[in-house]
Amino acid sequence: MRGSDRVRKTTRSLWSRFKPGAAILMYHRVTTLEADPYRLTVSPAHFAQQMRILAETCVPMHLEDLIDAMLANALPRRAVAVTFDDGYLDNLTEAYPILERTGVPATVFVVSGRMGSPLEFWWDDLERMLMGEERTPEDLQLTIGGEEYCWPTRTAEQRTAARTALHGMLSRQTAKHRQAALDALLAWSGKGAEGRPTHRAMSVGELLRLAESGLVRIGGHTVTHAVLSTLSAEDQRYEIETGCRELEDVLGKPVRTFAYPYGRAIDWTSDTARLAREAGLRGAVSTVPGSVEAGCDPYRLPRWAAPDCDGASFARALESFFVL
């Protein structure tokens, strides 16, 4: 290889390594809570600062437009897509007015089976039953997937340890085993099944209000928030396709994007990605961190978890989101 060729090749490979990509940001909730053990919330003040920075320094796009641009090898510099998972009510009441004010588009991935439910998502229920100030029994005995477990629960520290252990264990269980454990936990806690209004998902009417302007588009997030990698192909297909169809029936327009529940590399498989493609979706996002570049698989898109921080810290984090 001639010297000039080598220089050109090295320059090209460095450029491809450092060429800035696009960033897909993941939010769950915009609100202020007494307890946020899973770090799902960003405060409204921080979210407003973050959206202003995106509007002023980036090219905010709808996720499906970002996917189309990626496939056409035409991603604008500093392209960003804002996404929310699960469909919490505060996406409408807190996040939407800020999105409207700043003109930043977003995609909200909704668990179709939770629309309008008075129940909380299971991870929130776990927190509600184990983290309150009320006195609870001295220990918690549960059968999970046929195995017996016991955690001391006298002190707040012990209850936190039990919640952390249970969250990890229950996220890997089948829906049936998980529900059985949660039912037993509910009886143990002495609390009612009905959830807190602060933790509920949107109703159908609220979802329609969120989607009507077109600034927010709705994506699929399964029927039951299942760990897709634990299901048969047939059950995965049901969760993906029925979840999207139920949303389309409500919205009267097609659902084109999807987020794998939990989204880590262990929570979905190449079969899952194939099923998402076969369902006619334009693309699907994970929670694996990374930037998006031309040539990425649209059914394995990485996302950055947006931190709950002020504008200055967010602006610094954002720079790394484009290049890593």
Which residues bind to Zn ion, rule: CB under 5 A? 85-86, 261
Shortest spacing between CB 158 and Zn ion, in angstroms:
28
Contact 286, 301 (CB under 8 A): yes
Query: 85 vs 94, which CB is nearer to Zn ion?
Result: 85
Query: 189 vs 286, which CB is nearer to Zn ion?
Result: 286
Query: 85 vs 127, which CB is nearer to Zn ion?
Result: 85
Contact 219, 112 (CB under 8 A): no
Shortest spacing between CB 265 and Zn ion, in angstroms:
16
Beta carbons within 8 Å of 130's beta carbon, 6+ residues apart: 136, 140, 153, 159, 160, 162, 163, 166, 185, 189
Shortest spacing between CB 40 and Zn ion, in angstroms:
9
142: amino acid identity, one letter = L
Query: 124 vs 153, which CB is nearer to Zn ion?
Result: 124
Shortest spacing between CB 285 and Zn ion, in angstroms:
11
Shortest spacing between CB 85 and Zn ion, in angstroms:
4
Shortest spacing between CB 320 and Zn ion, in angstroms:
24
Cα 64 to Cα 73: distance, rounded to the nearest angstrom = 14
Question: Residue 283 has which token pair?
Answer: 């693309």
Cα 16 to Cα 32: distance, rounded to the nearest angstrom = 41
Beta carbons within 8 Å of 215's beta carbon, 6+ residues apart: 96, 99, 100, 103, 105, 106
Calculate the CA 54 to chain-centre distance: 19
Contact 262, 221 (CB under 8 A): no
Looking at beta carbons, which residue is closest to Zn ion?
Answer: 85
Residues present in the chain in total: 324
User: Per-residue DSSP letters for 186-234?
Assistant: HHHHT--SS--GGGPBP-HHHHHHHHTTSSEEEEE--SS---GGGS-HH
Query: 86 vs 308, which CB is nearer to Zn ion?
Result: 86
Query: 86 vs 206, which CB is nearer to Zn ion?
Result: 86
Query: 88 vs 299, which CB is nearer to Zn ion?
Result: 88
Shortest spacing between CB 224 and Zn ion, in angstroms:
11
Query: 78 vs 114, which CB is nearer to Zn ion?
Result: 114
Question: Residue 192 has which token pair?
Answer: 């009612």
Shortest spacing between CB 42 and Zn ion, in angstroms:
15
E strand or H helix that includes residue 245: helix 233-251
